[in-house]
Amino acid sequence: MANENLETKRWLIAGAAVVMQLCLGTVYAWSVFKKPLMGAHGWAETETQLTFMLLMGVLGCAAAFGGTLVDKKGPKFVATIGGILFGIGTLIAGYADQIGSLPLLYLGFGVIAALGNGFGYVTPIATLIRWFPDKRGLVTGLAVMGFGLGAFFMGQIAPPMIAGFKTVDAATGAVTASGVANTFYIWGVIFLVLVTGAAQLFKNPPAGWMPAGFKPAASAVSASNSFTFGEAVKTPQWWMLWGMLFLNVSAGLGLISQLSPLAQEMYKPLVDPSLTGDAMVKKLAWAGGIAVAITAIFNGLGRLFWAKISDNIGRKAVFATMFLTQAVLYILVGMGVVSNFWLFVVIGCYLLACYGGGFATMPAFAADNFGPGYIGKVYGFMLTAWACAGIAGPLVFAKYKGQALYIAAGLLIAGLVISIIFKGTEKKA
C-alpha cells in the first residue's frame, strides 16, 4: 500500500512540474514583446534584445546555484523562492515599460525574473530524476515539455493582450502606452499563484526507494555510486556534455530570439500590397505570433519525443541525429533555398523540436553517467552552458544576421563531432 501511495505521489509531482514549467517557459515568447517595446520607447534592437540575453545568462547561472540548493534545502523551498522571484520580476518588467525605463526592464525581467526562472526550472528536473529511475528520459521530457509549450500559449495570448491595452494619441498617432505593461502585470500575478502553488507538492522520495519491480541497468551509475559534483567536473565526460548542451542551445536560442522578425520577413510577399501603415503592421505581427506559437508547440513536443526515443536508442545517438539534421537545415535556410513562409515555419518546428530535445535528453544523459545522488548540483552547474549560450546565440543572430545561420550550422557540426567521440563514464568502485 505504501508503494502504491508513493506511485500516485510521484505522478502528482510530475503534473505539478508540468504546470510550473508551462509558466516558466513563457519567457521564450520574448520576441512578441520586443517590437512593441522598441516602437513605444524608440529603443534600438540590440539594447532591447539585451534583456533576453541577460535573462538567459542569469537563468542558466541561477539553475546551477538552484541545483545546489535543491540538494541541500529540498525542492519545495527552492521552487517556492523561484515562483516568488519570477512573479515579482515580471511585475517589475511591466512597471519598466510603463515608465519607459530600459535599466529597470533589465533588472526586473533580465535579473529578478531570470533568477526565479532558473530556480524553478532545475527543481522539478532534479526531483523527477529521483522519483522516476525507471522512466528517466520520458519523465524529464514530460516536465521540460511544459517549458517549451509555455511559449505557445504566450505567443497566442500576449499579442492580442498587448494590442488591446495599447494607447495611441488621437491627434499625433503616437503610441503613448505599448500595452506590454498591463500584459506583464496580469501574467506576473498568474505566475505568483501557479508557480508557488505547484512548488508546494515537491518532495524527494524516501532514501533507497525504487518503483516496484524496477532493476537499474548495469551500465547506469546507481544512487549509491553517484559522482559528487567535484568528482564529475574532473571527468572529460562532464565537459563534453556541457559542450554539447552549449552548442545545441546556442543555435536554438539564436533562432528563437529572431524568430518573429524572420517570420515576418518571410510573410511580406503574402501580404495584400494594398495594406499600409497600422494594417500592415498588424498583419505582420500576426504572422510573427503564429510562427512563435506553432514552433513553440514543437519545442515542447520535441522534448517529450526525443527524450522518450533516448530511452530506446540511447542519449548519444539522439544527440548525433539532432546535431546532423539541424546543421543541414540551417545551411539550407542560409542559402536562401527556403523562402516560403509556411515552409520556414515547418523547418522552424523541427529545429525547435531538436532544441527542446537537447534540454530534455541531457538530464537523463547526465544521470546515466554520474548517477542521481547529486544530480541537482551536477546537472545544475551543467546548465551554465545555457547561460553562456543565452549570450552567444542571440548576440550572433543580432550582430551577424547575414552569416548567423551558417555560424549556427558550424556550432552544430562541432556538437556532432563531440557526440560521436563521447564515451560513457566508468562506475566508481
Whether 6 has a pLDDT exceeding 90, the answer reads no
- Predicted confidence band at 383 (pLDDT cuts at 50, 70, 90)? confident
Q: Mark out the alpha helices in 200-314 (DSSP H runs).
A: 229-232, 236-267, 277-313
- pLDDT, average across residues 340-362: 92
pLDDT of 159: 84
pLDDT of 80: 96
- Whole-structure pTM value: 0.76
For residue 413, which phi and psi values (nearest 5 degrees)?
-65, -40
The interaxial angle of helices 45-73 and 236-267, nearest 10 deg, is 140
- Predicted confidence band at 20 (pLDDT cuts at 50, 70, 90)? very high
What pLDDT, in 10s, does the model give residues 331-350? 998 887 877 889 999 999 99
**CA quadruple 164, 169, 173, 177: dihedral, nearest 10:** -50
pLDDT > 70: what percent of the chain?
91
Pick the residue with more confidence: 161 or 280?
Answer: 161
What pLDDT, in 10s, does the model give residues 294-318? 887 888 889 889 988 998 898 999 9
CA pair distance 165, 180, nearest whole angstrom = 8
- Predicted confidence band at 8 (pLDDT cuts at 50, 70, 90)? confident
End-to-end CA distance of the chain: 35
- Say which DSSP state 426 is in: P
What pLDDT, in 10s, does the model give residues 142-158? 877 888 778 778 878 88
pLDDT of 107: 96
Q: Which residue reads 524516501 in cell numbers?
A: 206
Longest Cα pair distance anywhere in the chain, in angstroms? Answer: 78
pLDDT of 106: 96
Using alpha carbons, select from 56, 62, 50, 38 the residue that is nearest to residue 103: 50
CA pair distance 36, 246, nearest whole angstrom = 30
Whether 1 has a pLDDT exceeding 50, the answer reads no
Cell numbers describing residue 205: 522520495
Q: Which residue reads 495570448 in cell numbers?
A: 157
Around 313, how many Cα atoms within 13 Å sit in the side-chain half-sphere?
A: 11
CA pair distance 106, 37, nearest whole angstrom = 13
Cell numbers describing residue 304: 517529450
Asked whether the beta carbons of 357 and 305 are under 8 A apart, the reply is: yes
Whether 329 has a pLDDT exceeding 90, the answer reads yes
pLDDT of 177: 64
Using alpha carbons, select from 190, 174, 13 the residue that is nearest to residue 87: 190
What pLDDT, in 10s, does the model give residues 176-233? 567 889 999 999 999 999 999 999 999 988 877 777 777 766 556 666 678 988 999 9
Cell numbers describing residue 388: 553562456
What pLDDT, in 10s, does the model give residues 79-105? 999 999 999 999 999 999 999 999 999
Q: Reduced to 3 DSSP states, what percent helix, strand and coil does the chain have, rounded to the nearest 5?
A: 80, 0, 20
What pLDDT, in 10s, does the model give residues 227-265? 988 999 999 999 999 999 999 999 998 888 778 888 888
pLDDT of 276: 67
CA pair distance 383, 377, nearest whole angstrom = 10
What pLDDT, in 10s, does the model give residues 402-421? 788 899 999 999 999 999 99
Q: Over the chain, what is the mean pLDDT?
A: 86
CATH class of 2-208+221-421: mainly alpha
CA pair distance 179, 188, nearest whole angstrom = 14
Cell numbers describing residue 123: 527543481
What pLDDT, in 10s, does the model give residues 155-169? 788 888 888 777 765
